[in-house]
Structures are given as C-alpha cells and as structure tokens.
Amino acid sequence: MIRASDLPRPPMRMPLIGDLWRINPARPVQSEYEIAQKVGPLFQLDLAGGSVLIATDDLAINSIADEETWCKFVAGPFLVLREQLIGRGLLTAKNSDPLWADANEVLQPGFKQQAMRSYHHAMHDAVAELCTLWADRAGEQIDVSTDMNRLTSEVIARAGFGTTFNALSPTTKHGFSEQLSAALREASAAANSVPGLSNIRKLLLAQKAKPLQKTARKVAQLPTGATDSTLLARMCPASGATLPADNIVDQCLTFLIAGNETTAGTLGVCLHYLANDPRLQDAVRDELDAAGGLEALADYDTISKLRLTRRIVDEALRLWPVAPAYFRRARADTTIETRDFGTVQIPKNTVVMALTLGAHRDKVTWGPDADEFRPDRFTAANLRKYPDRVYRPFGIGPRSCIGRQFALHEAVLAIAAIAGTFNVSATSGSDLVMAEQITLKPKNLTVTVGAR
C-alpha cells in the first residue's frame, strides 16, 4: 500500500506556483487532460497553495463516490463563483450550509416527471421559435453557440420563471448571454491564474457580475401566484416555501447560469456531429417520423420514444461533458483502489478532482475507439461490454446536478426538431475546438441550414 504523497507528479515544478504554469487559463481542464495522457490516470498537481489528486482512473473515481467517506468540495472556478457571483446557490453552497438542504428540498419536486410535463409546452414553443428564426436565415452561416445560448436562456426563462427574455426574436440584442459568457470566462481564468493575476481577474469578475445579479433580482421579483408551475413559484413564500429573498436571487442566478450554459454546450456538440454526418441526420429523422413526425413533438411522451436521439445526446456528454470535472474531499483518513497502484492511503481533507473529460475517454473502460463519436455505444448490448466505465456528466451523489432531467429532455427535443425541420451542413470543418468558461462549449462552430 502506498501513500497519496507517493503518487507520481509531472516533472519540473516551479517555486511558489508549483504546476500552475502547466495550466492554460483559457483551457484549464483540457490542459489537465493532456497532462493525464502523459503522466497517467492518477497523479498529483501542486497548484499555488495546495495539492490536488487528478483522477481519470475508474477504480479511483468509483472509490471517491462513497458518501460516507467523501463529499463534494467547492474548489477552483466554483469557489470563485461562490465568492463573486452565485453566493449560496445550489451549485456552490457549502455542504454544511442549511440553506442548501432547504433549497434542495423545495426544488427537487420541480424536476420530477409531473413538473417536467408542465414545462414541456414552454420548451416546445421555444424550440419552434428557434426553427422559425433559422428558416428565415436559410443558406446563411449560423453561429451555433450563440443561438444555442439564445434557445436555452429562453427555455429557462419560460419554464423556470414564467417570463420571457425574447431571446429568439431576430431584433433582440443578446446582452445576458454575452454578459454571462464573459463572466464565466473570467471566473475560470481567475481560478487558474498565478495569484497576482488571479486577484485582478476576480476584481474584473466582480464588475461583470453586477448586470447578471441585477437580472436575477428582477427575475426573483416576478409575480408567481400560489401555484408550483415554475421553479420560481416553488421558491417564493406564496407557494409555502421559506427561502429567504437573497437566497432566491442566488438560486435564480444559479439556474440562469446552469440551465443556460450546460445545455447550450451539449446542443452545440450534437449539432457539430450531426452536421458532419448526413446519414446520422437521416436516422434521426427516420426515428422522428416513426414516432409521428414534427407534430408529435408537442406531446411530452414522444421524447422518451426518441432513443437514437437520446443516445446522440449521451455520446456528446461522454466525449465533451459540459461539466468536465468535479471535486471530492475526504471526510476522514481512508483508502482508494486504483488500477496502477493498488490500494492508496488517503489522509483526511485530501482533495481529488475526478477528471471526467479523461475518464469518459478511457480506452480501458470504454474500448479502443473511446475517442470517437459513436452513439450506438449507448445501446444496452454495447454498454454491457464495458461494465466498469465511468459516465458522470452530471456529477455524483446528493450534490449532483438537480436539473439533469430538464437538460436531457430539452436537448432531445431540440435536436429532434432541428433535424426534423432542416438539412444541417457544416461550414466550420470537421475538427471540433472547445472553449472553456467553466463549462465546455464549441468555439467558432457554424452551420448552414436548408429545408428538408
């Protein structure tokens, strides 16, 4: 048995900043994945003030899933977000914060099937408006990331808060999405820069946070009545909830960020692969036609029938998980199992970063073609071939993403509607370049659309 301190490290650490010089602030998680490919599936990094273990090893990641000895740890850009932007929202609150438990109890029913059914109409209408917008731009180059942010911000506005940002209007300026992207880039860079520059970036982030917080305060003050038809109504006293006003603002901002960025990134990845594979587009259309065609998408139950489309979304989340890593902290002295080192002793308070971007591409547990986009790997028969795989695009445990079913439903609906309405053609090439602003999303991705 070896100790965590004996695990390998990259060579050539720098004084004061340790391994921070290896991390590109514009693409930190991708930098860490590149290190993992050279050093191995479990190693140490010293990042200016503390050591963290980086894991793509399936045994290690499964070991740290145990809630009795491990817990979520808010670190890196998520800590910056807590300090500068979201406060005590579900995503960034401390484990010990009683408001996290209160908010989780209030909001969990908002993502059950009955609630999801009530959101479907708003989602469907927003997707239909996107298709109308694109139909008027047939033959033009479309900036996919921008328009996916327009769609997802409108969906969360309608389904989450019972309002509209008019984000899908051709004449609307998209200030919120642009402000949000700029703030998230700053948060990611602040968490991965040398200390002096990090402080400057935090000051810049504080300024960029102000208009976002102003929007969240306006949303939190919208009338809701006494129903539970939206997430906002569930949080407000009229629905019987008891969340304090400032925490409702934190939760609104959390959903505006998480409900926008994560799904927008996934949709962008799906559209990249669809645009480069006409046969896959045809298969999605055939599946939709068999389920009743575009008109059937107005029915909530149709979405569960679109199994190929769901596999495309799952595969996009495997190759490019929008949340490409998460942190866990040891509650006590413990051990973890590993592939290369057997049992490893872990001291209390050790922090491990589960690098899902790497674990999802592990050729040992996902097969030799793990770097390829292949949706059929998510058929039941193919999944049985690799039972030890790690697939955690939404995190793990009670602090995993509360809105995962919302995001998956929205993504399947949107991809089916777009493929069912248009022929989508790639104009930015077959290579996918990913930007990082805490989440991963395609960079400079453009397509053109034409009628089927």
Task: Compute the average pLDDT of residues 82-94.
Answer: 93
Examine the pLDDT at 349 and tell me if it is beyond 90. Answer: yes
Task: Compute the average pLDDT of residues 348-361.
Answer: 98
pLDDT of res. 118: 92
Distances (CA, A) of 134 to 6, 28, 156, 283: 55, 34, 20, 21
pLDDT of res. 104: 92
Task: Compute the average pLDDT of residues 338-362.
Answer: 97
pLDDT of res. 18: 85
pLDDT of res. 336: 98
Which domains, from first to last, does the chain contain?
Answer: 94-323+393-451 (1.10.630.10)
pLDDT of res. 422: 98
User: Considering only 15-24, 70-79, 124-133, 431-440, which range has the smallest mean pLDDT?
Assistant: 15-24
d(CA 285, CA 282): 5
Please name the amino acid found at residue 70: W
Examine the pLDDT at 49 and tell me if it is beyond 70. Answer: no
Q: How confident is the model at residue 16 (pLDDT cuts 50, 70, 90)?
A: confident
Give tens-digit pLDDT for 269-282: 999 999 999 999 99
pLDDT of res. 180: 87
* 12 CB-contact burial (10 Å; exposed 0-12 / middle 13-18 / buried 19+): exposed
Give tens-digit pLDDT for 367-396: 999 999 999 999 999 999 999 999 999 999
Task: Compute the average pLDDT of residues 43-63.
Answer: 92
Task: Compute the average pLDDT of residues 1-26.
Answer: 88
Give tens-digit pLDDT for 172-216: 776 788 888 889 889 988 888 888 888 999 999 999 999 999 999
Give tens-digit pLDDT for 114-139: 999 999 999 999 999 999 999 999 99
Task: Compute the average pLDDT of residues 411-428.
Answer: 97
Q: Determine contact, residues 350/63, Cβ cutoff 8 Å.
A: no
b/e 60-87 (16+ beta carbons within 10 angstroms → b): bbbbbeeeebbbbbbbbbbbbbbbbbbb
